[in-house]
Structure 1
């Protein structure tokens, strides 16, 4: 990217703003070295990292990268075998601790299933040197001081130093108190040449004996090491030498331990710096309310409500700016200080930011292009040193631009052709724009020339735009109007300021017809735009109301279907309750019929009882059944009369209507039993043919023989229990006092199931395993009441 464009659009201020959010030396370095690129993959990767960091900032409060120094010089010293000092080792230790913390942070993110596009890759590249990190943390403080826990020997030496210092202070303390204090200039203990001394008056220099280490500027005070503490000071000095030697040994040892991991440590530091830089980009994006731009490799730029990032948020005016899709050239007109230049700088700077992997201050879904280069001729380019006027300087710059642009360039020209005769300047501006269009570059230019307003209508792939001006307040609104050229507001402004209308009329008469026609055309376009804008706002209001109505209807529809389903479920629950009640009643009826059977009365057939109970078991409603079954049931209802053959749905039995007891109940003959049945539980049926009934009776009679032994071996668990239930009913109706159920030994699951069933059957008096010679615990003998 051309370096001049970075200076013209003040890209360096963006980098400085990002650098303020970095905390590491490498992060700051990456901020300073940030430049846009034209490689799409590189741009997208950088945007992905910014997006990841922004998501982490929003969800977890940023990646935990602490303040870190640049450790590359330290690692270079390790390469040549040097011993690092305590501060250098501490800085490396801080990098290793940060590496471990960041690794844990990303592991937690993965555990929370937070999706990231790129940054998990950097976690995979981190090398967590656990033992080395722990050793440095235990041995060094952040300021590089070697701790007592670095080695047992160092701790012992320092303990000895503390004891000796205590003895020396205690002994010398006797000189600063009592009668001895009068020989001192001040009653204090101090240090000279790393030895403890006291300030003695010159005239008493021989009173304490010992060695003079220093004297005051006046010579009236001597700093003397008393004879009585010479030995202690010597021993202390020896201990201090031992301490320095042990510390140096430990530093050399730690340096040697780090040396094999130079590559991993440098890589960790680089990754942490990279993550710090990503953090800074995310924080800056949050500060300016920026969003992720969408890359368009066809160079269709569509910035939605774009804002210049270097203008205060309370002053900047957002604008929709587009170029590339329907037109490659935009000609912007409007009054001075109306915002034309800021519009150029906004699109240029936001494009640079996006191609540097930064979020841009614009609404979401904003599209940016991928330009190989961006060129600009903005501002006063005159140069006294080069003896260039403003016009010459601009032309020199444009000449350079025309030589370098291609079909993937974006050109920004401010006041193109200005600084010379208006007629010549307009012609020159049109020629320059035509040349740029021929090359195929994208261009956005500002101008005051009326000839260029017509240019936007006459040239293909070119559109007019203007900066809005409020005639009522005589102030620019800084709003960009695409498709509408700006018109001169001189007459309107002069009239509002009090100029005689006659003067204004005379001025208008002096204008050429073409100029007046152009102004009239622009005025008409502005009126059309305002009318269209009014219709647009009205349409938006209508759309909003329609959307609200649609949402209300959709919500009401959901509530209706939910309520309907709830009512259906409730109705089926009630139906199941009714069926359960009927089942209990039918069980009681069957019990009474069994008693009649056992007492010797005939007429009740065993198969009828078993069929009745089976049918009753299947009466319960399933909520998943299709609702049309209810309708089908209703259609089957017909008018009933005495003598009709009917089906009693609650028992699954056929019968004949005897008499209607009331509006809700009928008396029905079912076999030998007379029942009181609800009308809702009756369905009219056709009478069965006599011969068919006879055949049915004969067939069933053949199945009335019940074996006193039921063999369940090889049966599945559910089938076996169902057979046991039917078999017990049959055995009871057959009048057996005792039966045998063979279930086998196996795993014992079936035996346990049968035992549980027999325990719950009220007709069973007792049950036990068969004798050993009759099957043992592989069979169960059941005795009935």
Structure 2
């Protein structure tokens, strides 16, 4: 793939975006070096890898492979028997730790997860946990080795700590004792690796010791007192022994690492390969991309493609077809209409697809594999183009026309521009005819009307245009295939304020053929829009029909299930009734025979008959055979907030918490249970609602209830209750308090673990009749009491 085309289509910006997704040095290097491929098998492999990474990222989230610093130099040193430094060993340890995390990420959590092409990479990873744990135990950082790295090192450092303590004790004694008056400052300092005291120069003879340094002015001498010389010497020897032992430890760790040279190389290679692959998957996610279908027949069908370098929130998707019914596509229309963007989108998608990258387009988009992509796209568009511009474009075209073949894609931007329009149009048609005759896939943008006629009159060539809104003077960027674009010069000039008489004069100078052709373009564009609008409406109606069919099918399935359930329950009840009837009949016949054989009195026989009659009556009046109905039919307007009702199907009482919706469902609070119930399953309990607005008159029972609620205590004690018990009692208590017109109440729940208080507060938060609640003040119960303000 020639570098000039990659630059013109801004392929390097895509690889820069890809590089940002990688974390390792080699991973970023692979991203930077990624080039489009021409071998179909390699492209398919790369696309499959990207798709597998994309799927794993969706299911398991993002993974970091760490910086994965190169280890090859360290491995070569190990091969010749050299010891590695602490920094090198630590980098190998981090590589192995990253390997362990990647290995865990690569495992399939369930048997349902299917294997993919990335499993081979994850399977090759060897975390070498024992080695990494040992390095991690011994080396704390590049500058620090752990005391526990070896018993010898631990003993040496313990001795060093002991001597250090003796030196400090001795020097502190001198600083605070006999030498205090001779010192410039009462401090202990270091010169080299020796502990010293800052002695005034005039007292050098009064202090016994070795001079190691002096201040810039010479007024201070840094002297090592004789009392600590031997201790410092011992300390220096221990420092040397410490360094020797550290080298022994590093040599031991290097020897252990040398046994896994090939495994570490494999880990590094697999980690960085995975970093590169997952960078492609992450880029596909960020672009909302999809895997293209690739072919070698030159077919391109991009569905709702979005140029990846434009703002995803503003870019208008385009649909482009090439190579199926036509091999040459000519895009026309005004400047800034999106022609060049369409051209670059097709070229860039082709390069991305052949590089193994997903493209930001809808599923089932199709791309062809080309051996070369040639592009003549100007960096700037100007209405004043000089001969030099034409020459540069023509030089570029000449350079690749001799190399193009049937496996090439050619892209022209403003072909033939920059010279005499008649000659430019003729030259453009000649170039396009040459490519078309050789069946080379070609796209070109132009202003020339001659090329529109060429496309209309030549088989295998198709017109396209970028839609332009004349009213707003803005392009819509929609690509319309099959319709040539208008320049809209007159309309744009009029909107911008050019006098009508000038525009009319210009129109008079156009030939009738030009006017007819432009009118034809207008009719074609109008027809195209009408057809597309009608197709959208048809699709919308079709989707609505499918949705309604699905709903109807679901409804039928639910009805069928309910029908089977009702029949099954009815059958069970009928069988039970038959069984019971049979038992009664058997018992009756048995008694009849017994009464015939034995001398039974008429009174006994009558009692037995009465018992059987009562049993039959009880059976026929069994609740299982009756459906409970409300005493009277209720309308939706009968139900008020806070009204007490009985849920017939559940045989529970509750309180209305929401008004009936369009379907007749209301929310009923039954203790701690809140449920949606249809009004046909409810019965208003008149005696429990003395203040209900739907009541015509108050009964005696209502007066009794009202008298009871007026005597409600302003405090409820819930100590020792579970959360469920407390909430149930509190719910009933609040109902009584509201009926009693109490403005506030005290809820005693105690402090304890706080679980009861939390459950009560959670319940209060959901109650519509609770205005606010807060913990009591100090002296009123503190955190053990909650004050509830009622509406």
Q: Same fold (TM over 0.5)?
A: yes
* 1:81 CA displacement: 2.5
Deviations 1:559-579 (A, max 9, x none): 232222223322332344245
Which residue does 2:66 correspond to in 1? 66
Once residues 180 and 90 of structure 2 are traced to their aligned partners in structure 1, the CA distance between those partners, rounded to angstroms, is 45
Deviations 1:641-676 (A, max 9, x none): xxxxxxxxxxxxxxxxxxxxxxxxxxxxxxxxxxxx
* 1:167 CA displacement: 1.7
Comparing 416-425 and 530-539, the one that deviates more = 530-539
Say whether the 8 Å CA contact 2:23–2:64 is kept in structure 1: no
Say whether the 8 Å CA contact 1:467–1:478 is kept in structure 2: yes
Once residues 15 and 63 of structure 1 are traced to their aligned partners in structure 2, the CA distance between those partners, rounded to angstroms, is 20
Once residues 533 and 210 of structure 1 are traced to their aligned partners in structure 2, the CA distance between those partners, rounded to angstroms, is 101
Deviations 1:253-303 (A, max 9, x none): 211222232121011011111222233223322222222323234332222
Matched, 1:488 2:487: yes
Once residues 583 and 44 of structure 1 are traced to their aligned partners in structure 2, the CA distance between those partners, rounded to angstroms, is 76
Deviations 1:407-444 (A, max 9, x none): 22211111111121111111111111122223322111
Matched, 1:529 2:531: no
Once residues 256 and 593 of structure 1 are traced to their aligned partners in structure 2, the CA distance between those partners, rounded to angstroms, is 105
Comparing 492-501 and 268-277, the one that deviates more = 492-501
Matched, 1:568 2:567: yes
Once residues 8 and 24 of structure 2 are traced to their aligned partners in structure 1, the CA distance between those partners, rounded to angstroms, is 29
Say whether the 8 Å CA contact 2:293–2:366 is kept in structure 1: yes
Which residue does 2:182 correspond to in 1? 183
Deviations 1:82-124 (A, max 9, x none): 21110011000111112122212222x3436433522212111
Matched, 1:428 2:427: yes
What's the Cα RMSD here?
2.7
Deviations 1:288-327 (A, max 9, x none): 2222323234332222221111112233222112222222
Deviations 1:307-357 (A, max 9, x none): 111112233222112222222111111111221111111111122222222
Which residue does 2:730 correspond to in 1? none
Say whether the 8 Å CA contact 1:99–1:126 is kept in structure 2: yes
Which residue does 1:41 correspond to in 2? 41
Say whether the 8 Å CA contact 1:53–1:62 is kept in structure 2: no
Which residue does 1:2 correspond to in 2? 2
Change (3 A) 1:293 1:133: same
SS in 1 for 2:145: coil
Q: 1:495-510 alignment to 2 at 5 Å? A: 495-510=494-509
Which residue does 1:95 correspond to in 2? 95
Deviations 1:41-65 (A, max 9, x none): 2222222222222222222222342
Say whether the 8 Å CA contact 2:302–2:366 is kept in structure 1: yes
Matched, 1:80 2:80: yes
Once residues 230 and 207 of structure 2 are traced to their aligned partners in structure 1, the CA distance between those partners, rounded to angstroms, is 14
SS in 1 for 2:175: coil
* 1:593 CA displacement: 12
Once residues 583 and 75 of structure 1 are traced to their aligned partners in structure 2, the CA distance between those partners, rounded to angstroms, is 93
Once residues 88 and 586 of structure 2 are traced to their aligned partners in structure 1, the CA distance between those partners, rounded to angstroms, is 92
Gaps of at least 5 residues in structure 1 are 600-785
Change (3 A) 1:181 1:486: farther
Deviations 1:197-231 (A, max 9, x none): 22222222333322222222222222222211111
Which residue does 1:148 correspond to in 2? 147
Deviations 1:169-223 (A, max 9, x none): 2222233335633323333222222222222222223333222222222222222
Once residues 476 and 143 of structure 2 are traced to their aligned partners in structure 1, the CA distance between those partners, rounded to angstroms, is 60
* 1:588 CA displacement: 6.2
Change (3 A) 1:414 1:260: same
SS in 2 for 1:258: helix
SS in 1 for 2:531: helix
SS in 2 for 1:494: helix
Say whether the 8 Å CA contact 1:53–1:63 is kept in structure 2: no
Which residue does 2:104 correspond to in 1? 104
Comparing 583-592 and 426-435, the one that deviates more = 583-592
Q: 1:378-393 alignment to 2 at 5 Å? A: 378-380=377-379, 389-393=388-392
Change (3 A) 1:226 1:346: same
Which residue does 1:440 correspond to in 2? 439
Once residues 67 and 269 of structure 2 are traced to their aligned partners in structure 1, the CA distance between those partners, rounded to angstroms, is 14
Change (3 A) 1:511 1:535: same
Once residues 193 and 291 of structure 2 are traced to their aligned partners in structure 1, the CA distance between those partners, rounded to angstroms, is 63
Which residue does 1:14 correspond to in 2? 14
Once residues 175 and 323 of structure 2 are traced to their aligned partners in structure 1, the CA distance between those partners, rounded to angstroms, is 89
Change (3 A) 1:268 1:185: same
Q: 1:693-732 alignment to 2 at 5 Å? A: none
Which residue does 1:284 correspond to in 2? 283
Q: 1:147-546 alignment to 2 at 5 Å? A: 147-178=146-177, 180-380=179-379, 389-546=388-545
SS in 1 for 2:144: coil
* 1:378 CA displacement: 0.8
Once residues 100 and 57 of structure 1 are traced to their aligned partners in structure 2, the CA distance between those partners, rounded to angstroms, is 18
Once residues 53 and 206 of structure 1 are traced to their aligned partners in structure 2, the CA distance between those partners, rounded to angstroms, is 78
Once residues 580 and 373 of structure 1 are traced to their aligned partners in structure 2, the CA distance between those partners, rounded to angstroms, is 87
Deviations 1:229-267 (A, max 9, x none): 111111111111111111111111211222232121011
Change (3 A) 1:535 1:244: same
Normalising by structure 2, what TM-score?
Answer: 0.71
SS in 2 for 1:389: helix
Change (3 A) 1:584 1:273: farther
Change (3 A) 1:480 1:233: same
Comparing 301-310 and 234-243, the one that deviates more = 301-310
Say whether the 8 Å CA contact 2:290–2:358 is kept in structure 1: yes
Change (3 A) 1:448 1:181: farther
Deviations 1:538-592 (A, max 9, x none): 3233223322332232222222322222233223323442454466568869999
Once residues 347 and 100 of structure 2 are traced to their aligned partners in structure 1, the CA distance between those partners, rounded to angstroms, is 41
Gaps of at least 5 residues in structure 2 are 599-791
Say whether the 8 Å CA contact 2:387–2:419 is kept in structure 1: no
Once residues 453 and 104 of structure 1 are traced to their aligned partners in structure 2, the CA distance between those partners, rounded to angstroms, is 60
Change (3 A) 1:588 1:288: same
Say whether the 8 Å CA contact 1:376–1:411 is kept in structure 2: yes
Larger radius of gyration: 1
Once residues 41 and 12 of structure 2 are traced to their aligned partners in structure 1, the CA distance between those partners, rounded to angstroms, is 24
Normalising by structure 1, what TM-score?
Answer: 0.71
Deviations 1:735-756 (A, max 9, x none): xxxxxxxxxxxxxxxxxxxxxx
Comparing 256-265 and 205-214, the one that deviates more = 205-214
SS in 2 for 1:404: coil
Say whether the 8 Å CA contact 2:387–2:418 is kept in structure 1: no
